[in-house]
Amino acid sequence: MEFRKFDSDKDVTEFVLHNTELFEPDTQLTVSEIGDGNINFIYRVGQPGGDSVIVKQALPYVRIIGEGWPLSQDRVRIEAETLQYEGSHCPDLVPTVYHFDADLCAIVMEDIGQHENLRHALIARRRLPNLASDLGRFLADTLYHSSDLHLDSHAKKELVKSYINPDLCKITEELFFWDPYCDHERNSINPHLRPYAEQLWADDALKLEVYKLKRQFLCDAEALLHGDLHAGSVFASGSGTKVIDPEFAYVGPIGFDIGSILGNFLLNYAGQANLPGDLAERRDYQAWLLDSVETLWNTFAERFYIHMREKTQDPSFNNEIYRTWYLDKLFADTLGYAGTEMIRRTIGLAHVADIESIEDPQSRANSEKLALRIGCELIMARDQIIDVEALAQRIRRIS
Q: Which positions touch its own copies (CB under 8 A)?
A: 148, 153-154, 156-158, 160-161, 164-167, 169-170, 173, 177-178, 181-182, 204, 207-208, 210-212, 214-215, 218-222, 314-317, 319, 321-322, 325-326
Minimum Å distance from CB 164 to its own copies?
5
For residue 83, give every residue at least 6 positions away whose Cβ sits within 8 Å of its Cβ, in sequence order, or none.
94, 95, 97, 107, 109, 246
- If we measure between CA atoms, which residue out of 139, 29, 45, 135 comes closest to residue 98? 45
Minimum Å distance from CB 70 to its own copies?
12
Looking at the Cβ atoms of 7 and 204, the one nearer to its own copies is 204
CA distance 334 to 342: 12
- If we measure between CA atoms, which residue out of 48, 4, 55, 7 comes closest to residue 28? 48
C-alpha distances out from residue 213 to 207, 260, 351, Å: 10, 13, 21
Minimum Å distance from CB 150 to its own copies?
12
Give the CA angle between residues 189, 195, 201 to the nearest 5°: 80
Looking at the Cβ atoms of 100 and 177, the one nearer to its own copies is 177
Please report the sign of the dihedral spanned by the C-alpha atoms of residue 244, residue 247, residue 251, residue 257. negative
Looking at the Cβ atoms of 159 and 381, the one nearer to its own copies is 159
Quote the crossing angle between the two packed helices 320-347 and 254-272, to the nearest 10°.
50
Looking at the Cβ atoms of 242 and 344, the one nearer to its own copies is 344
Minimum Å distance from CB 181 to its own copies?
8
Minimum Å distance from CB 174 to its own copies?
9
CA distance 35 to 22: 22
Minimum Å distance from CB 166 to its own copies?
4
Looking at the Cβ atoms of 124 and 208, the one nearer to its own copies is 208
Class of residue 360 by CB neighbours under 10 A (exposed 0-12, middle 13-18, buried 19+): exposed
Minimum Å distance from CB 205 to its own copies?
8
Minimum Å distance from CB 305 to its own copies?
16
Looking at the Cβ atoms of 155 and 398, the one nearer to its own copies is 155
Looking at the Cβ atoms of 152 and 278, the one nearer to its own copies is 152
Distance of CA 286 to the CA centre of its chain: 21
C-alpha distances out from residue 30 to 35, 48, 150, 382, Å: 16, 7, 44, 51
Q: What is the dihedral of CA 88, 90, 91, 92, to 10 degrees?
A: 180
Looking at the Cβ atoms of 89 and 207, the one nearer to its own copies is 207
